[in-house]
Copies of this chain bind each other. A is one copy, B any other.
């Protein structure tokens, strides 16, 4: 089933799909859940074996889920932000990153395309201090670490692989670790704009909603990489596929017969479709005009603002050891 074009950037979803197919827990995937401050925190560890099964890279994946992320209640936003900050700090600590280590944050995505603008909207709101450390170190208050930030744009707008821009910058500026923020694709409407994923496994820009590009990870960058994202779109093909399968299931159930002959007739026909044919079908429905169709809530513009505020606030809190009112700055931008 995985092969039939289920596009998701959430390890959580990949793990669920793999386990559903397998019919139970799998060796290469470990996961645990915890309720915290009205959010659901899920930790998924994917081993080398798990990577082979799920297609998600080996590493630790933590998601913080709450549909309040979609709302406009600022106290709930602050609370989700705090849980997220705690988890970011855990990633920083477990990578052995020192309190004074310098951080580069890259906000990936196209700031002119609403559902792809999460990264740039986050970098707009960060507390950036790297230049102060270099130019006026005497004025930097205790607790801050050197933080720099960039929105490198997308290849279609820059003509340059995002990975190349970042790796060039890392080579020259030599930050101690990298955090990348990007919009993701999920396969489920429930998790859309309601889930924050953090991982130490790196990122491939555009993996969720476009072509796979150069990997940005500890392996390629030579420094620890923490990737943070929120799903903002569902690939239109995924929704379509879900619809088709739900109809199939419904028909089968409705037939009531449980009868093998019918199933063979029916499912046999489904079976007759090769993966390639299935893909072609979806393609015929969705891309006659050569457009890159997505499914998104109509109010996506509003969600992006709130989500960017929550993530930037979490980053400011996790990176700098300062009183919360200095780092919880939702307004700048």
Instruction: Say how far A107's CB is from chain B's closest CB, in angstroms.
Output: 10
Given A156-B128, A168-B173, A331-B330, does the pair A269, B298 have CB atoms closer than 8 Å? no
A246 touches B131 (CB 8 A): no
Residues from chain B with Cβ under 8 Å of A159 in the complex: 128-132, 146-149
B190 touches A165 (CB 8 A): no
> Range of interface residues on chain A?
35 or more
Q: Is residue A295 within 8 Å, beta carbon to beta carbon, of the partner chain?
A: yes
Contact flags A291-333 to B (C-beta < 8 A → 1, else 0): 1111111111110011001000000000000000110111111
Instruction: Say how far A75's CB is from chain B's closest CB, in angstroms.
Output: 4
A282 touches B156 (CB 8 A): no
Given A159-B146, A246-B281, A288-B190, does the pair A330, B330 have CB atoms closer than 8 Å? yes
B291 touches A293 (CB 8 A): no
A299 touches B254 (CB 8 A): no
Q: When the two chains form the complex, which single residue of B116, B124, B255, B331 contacts A306, counting CB atoms closer than 8 Å?
A: B331
Within 8 A of B (CB), among A130-160: 130-132, 146-153, 155-160
Q: Is residue A4 within 8 Å, beta carbon to beta carbon, of the partner chain?
A: no
A164 touches B153 (CB 8 A): no
A312 to B60, CA, bound (A): 41
A171 touches B173 (CB 8 A): no
Q: When the two chains form the complex, which single residue of B123, B244, B281 contacts A157, counting CB atoms closer than 8 Å?
A: B123
Q: Is residue A112 within 8 Å, beta carbon to beta carbon, of the partner chain?
A: yes
Residues from chain B with Cβ under 8 Å of A124 in the complex: 112, 157
B289 touches A209 (CB 8 A): no
A72 touches B332 (CB 8 A): yes
Residues from chain B with Cβ under 8 Å of A255 in the complex: 269
A209 to B296, CA, bound (A): 13
Q: Is residue A26 within 8 Å, beta carbon to beta carbon, of the partner chain?
A: no
Q: When the two chains form the complex, which single residue of B167, B239, B254, B281 contacts A240, counting CB atoms closer than 8 Å?
A: B239
Contact flags A271-297 to B (C-beta < 8 A → 1, else 0): 011000100011011111101111111
Interface centre among A76, A164, A269 (most CB of B within 10 A): A269
- The 7 nearest A-B residue pairs measured at CB: A130-B159, A148-B159, A168-B172, A72-B329, A75-B325, A240-B243, A306-B331
A-B contact pairs, 20 of them (CB 8 A): A72-B330, A113-B298, A123-B157, A131-B160, A131-B161, A151-B151, A151-B153, A160-B169, A164-B172, A168-B173, A189-B286, A189-B287, A192-B289, A194-B289, A209-B298, A243-B281, A292-B299, A302-B332, A306-B332, A309-B331
